[in-house]
Chain A
């Protein structure tokens, strides 16, 4: 007996960064819960795979190639979603990148080199993880605020609240996104638009395989060791998906400006 509040029947959800990993898992789980999906990411071919699986679940899927760091493209994405479905119920700000480098060169000289985070890398991480959320929330929020209904989800990270050594751009961008989520939750409360952050914990996705990510097997292991004091395992992407469904559903109508964490990092 599944409580009706958990259903996403009749809903339309936009998911950014939906080609793989957490974004794909959220798109598919929401589709399984009844929602039609708009998938956005930079390349259409990657998105088509997600779209195929959404359609296999009997739901519609609109593919919109979008660079979420470009305001005009994000506005077009929202326009296309509205043109296709007439409404947007849910926005999942999932697109994100991680560039793990120390703040200054570990070679101990005053000249910066490739081993240290560059300004371009800092800007790229901030733009993708934070500024893109502002673009998406504003473009979609216009519609949700006018309609006085909507569910916005941002994706957080443990590093937004703990540690973050040699990962400063990612940690800082996720922290900024957390406060942005809370602020927007308050700002849109009068209009019945809920804004919450889902912090997925340790998930084994491609963000770990990023070539700029200089994570040695030893660092990986030590990271897992740290988590093992609580739950001792990586998360399952579906576990993120079902939480996203909860936050997008009527069951979460009284929740806003919240941060919900998987993986035990809140301990």
Chain B
């Protein structure tokens, strides 16, 4: 017996970065809960698998290519959504990117989990800094800015931002990523307050450790084998519950935050991390 408040029947949800990983899990789980999905990312081909799985649940899936760091493309995504569905109930700001870099490389950097190996870091460049800030914080901001006026007019809407446990806990060479993710927490709260009069809920999910592509892409200074070794050690070293999360649980939390069950919740950051941030 599933309580009706958890249903997303009749809802339309935009999910950015929906090709894989957390975005894909959220898109497909929301579809399973009854929502039609707008799956957005930079390349259409990468979105096809997600679209296929959404449609298997009998839901519609509009595939939109958009670079969320470009406002015109974000606005285009929103316009296409309105043209197809006439409304936007849910926005999931999941696009993200990371690339570890110390501000100043000294050569003394060492991995806590892989002692004895030399890390081939490069100094933080302006490009790396801007890309990380823009792909996480800038993208979230642009999507909120483009979708906001529609939700304001509707006097309803659910915005779910994707943060990270890195907002609260320092990790190596992540001054940019940590700053961007912590800033998303702040953006969540300010918009929750600013849009409360319009009955728009704005909340944030802070994922812990999940094994997705970003764990590899964010470590240009390590080999794939070294990243695998790090991932193997993380559960015992860092996660109280002792295992990496399954992205489905993020989908389930996102469904809750997108559903009427969470109408009285706004401005919250919920960490789904097996206890990492409780430490």
Contacts and interface: CB of A to CB of B under 8 A. Distances in A.
Interface of A: 71, 102-105, 108-112, 117, 119, 122, 126, 130-131, 134-135, 137-138, 141-142, 145, 160-161, 163-168, 171-173, 175-180, 182-184, 186-187, 190-191, 257
A179 B152 CA distance: 31
Given A119-B142, A131-B129, A187 B149 contact: no
Q: Which DSSP category, helix, strand, loop or mixed, fits chain A's interface?
A: helix
Q: Which of B142, B175, B176 has the most CB of A within 10 A?
A: B175
A126 B193 CA distance: 21
Contacts of B40: none
Nearest to B79: A110
B124 A108 contact: no
Contacts of A104: 145, 148-149, 152
Contacts of A184: 103, 175
A158 B71 CA distance: 29
Interface stretch (B16-24, B50-58, B182-190, B231-239): B182-190
B141 interface: yes
B149 A110 contact: yes
B102 interface: yes
B144 A175 contact: no
B103 A137 contact: yes
B173 interface: yes
Consensus secondary structure, chain B interface: helix
Interface string B233-252: 00000000000000000000
A175 B182 contact: yes
B194 A102 contact: yes
Contact of B150 (A110, A161, A164, A180): A110
A141 B124 CA distance: 12
A168 B191 CA distance: 8
A164 B190 contact: yes
Contacts of B185: 175
B231 to A, nearest CB: 22
A135 B103 CA distance: 9
6 contacts: A103-B191, A138-B103, A145-B106, A167-B190, A175-B186, A179-B179
Given A131-B129, A180-B175, A172 B183 contact: yes
